[in-house]
Amino acid sequence: MSQLHKHFTSDQVKELLERYLRNEIERKHLQDILGIKERRFFALVRQYRENPHHFTIQYHRATPLRISKDLEQNILKELSIEKEIIQNKEIPLKSYNYSYIKDRLKGQYRQKVSLPTIIDRAKKHGFYLKKPKRTPHDREVLTRYVGELIQHDASYHLWAPASQEKWYLITSLDDHSRLLLYATLMKTETSWAHILALQTLILQYGLPYSYYVDSHRIFRFVRGRDSFWQKHHLLTDEATPQWKQVLQDCNVKVVYALSPQAKGKMERPYGWLQDRLVRTCVREDVTEINQAQRVLNHELYRYNHQQVHSTTQEIPYLRFQKALKENRSLFRAFQIKPPYQSTKDIFCLRMDRTIDSYRRISINNFVLKVNHATPGKTVNLRIYPSTIDVSEIRFWCEGKLIDTQRVKNSDLKGMHF
């Protein structure tokens, strides 16, 4: 029975408690009469014993505290910014995020306020949109081990509206723990950008069992889509993209999302991070990609180490560490595949060329003389962009490293770094 004061007077409860103390009535029977649990019962007994003359079960609701004028103004200020963001068709946000406002008031203004208070002000001042009806999602963790499936994706949006430039957000997420293992912003999306993501993740965590991606041309060659001169019928995997070649060298399986629905499931875990990235970039007037990356790093830490995930009901980092301690991991130690000698031989761009009679090769009309080469032999070039301007080319022939050269990226025309 809830709200004891609505069913009994204070004098009636006092009389019952007095009879209990005189051993005239059993505790369980009295609890049934009052409709309360054991903890509440003993709290009443203690209260009566301490002050029997002033014992009462009535209570007075305190007058709600009014929030300060400064807090009120800051709430409305943040809500106004939210409205501007939603109305901008170039920004991929269509609803208010009151939880974000609450966190921002706490972090930026050092002001604490409850979520219902923010929602109340939003409704009163026209900063409220009804949520569209959505079909129940079927988000669930399909893996038992960390490293069993890495969800990898890139999203192209106007992350920082003040920059007036769209960037790519490349992310890699462990399916089991929902830990974001990699997240970076890039101005252009290239095979090398995704290979760099592989290198960063694998060198830090080890080799996962599989990667889950969509059928973007960087991840998968589809005949009829990627070759304009061959359209007779659809064939896949007849040519292997650079990104997939790296995973083949690492003996890591690639799984493709073959439908928009499957791809949607893959992208949902990134929604929280993307949402907060845009809102913070707007408020901090971010114009440069390096500034946006700092915002991303901050939100990434919050997501991984502080936020309870809605699907797992656990903080991703703690869930990841728990799996490691329980030996529930499919990550393997990274080892360079023989005969290769360096990570630059694995995480790189590749191409084959035939040595001419002058011991030279050509890359889009850029001629290179290869030392220790044999005319007529095929060499495999492993190209590693060491800096923005320079790449290291490692020449392999019949399982042997025969030469290493450094070349300006501007000379390697047609290659996108």
Q: How does pLDDT run across 26-44, given as a tens digit for each residue? A: 888 888 888 888 888 888 8
Q: What is the pLDDT of residue 8?
A: 84
Residue type, 360: R
Q: Say if 64 falls within a structural domain.
A: no
Start-to-end C-alpha separation, the chain: 70
In this structure, the answer to whether residues 299 and 353 fall within a common structural domain is: no
In this structure, the answer to whether residues 312 and 205 fall within a common structural domain is: yes
Q: Which residues contact 88 (CB under 8 A, 6 or more apart)?
A: 161
Q: Say if 164 falls within a structural domain.
A: yes
> Is residue 158 a contact partner of residue 332, using CB atoms and an 8 Å limit?
no
Q: Say if 273 falls within a structural domain.
A: yes
> Is residue 201 a contact partner of residue 182, using CB atoms and an 8 Å limit?
yes
End residue of a domain, out of 291, 325, 359: 325
Residue 196: Cβ within 10 Å count? 18
Domain interval for residue 37: 4-54
> What percent of the chain is modeled with pLDDT above 90?
62
Query: Which one has a higher pLDDT value, 224 or 120?
Result: 120
In this structure, the answer to whether residues 273 and 385 fall within a common structural domain is: no
In this structure, the answer to whether residues 47 and 84 fall within a common structural domain is: no
Q: How does pLDDT run across 207-227, given as a tens digit for each residue? A: 999 999 998 899 987 765 555
Does residue 54 surpass a pLDDT of 60? yes
Rounded CA-CA distance 400/119 in Å is: 67
In this structure, the answer to whether residues 220 and 261 fall within a common structural domain is: yes
CATH of residue 319's domain is 3.30.420.10
Q: Whole-model pTM?
A: 0.77
The tally of CA atoms less than 13 A away on the side-chain side of residue 282 is 24
Quote the number of domains for the chain: 4
Q: Say if 60 falls within a structural domain.
A: no
Phi-psi region of 46 (alpha: psi -120 to 50; beta: other; left: phi over 0): alpha
In this structure, the answer to whether residues 317 and 242 fall within a common structural domain is: yes
Q: Say if 380 falls within a structural domain.
A: yes
Q: Say if 21 falls within a structural domain.
A: yes
In this structure, the answer to whether residues 209 and 301 fall within a common structural domain is: yes
In this structure, the answer to whether residues 262 and 318 fall within a common structural domain is: yes
401 vs 6, 115, 291, 322, 373, CA distance in Å?
88, 63, 41, 43, 10
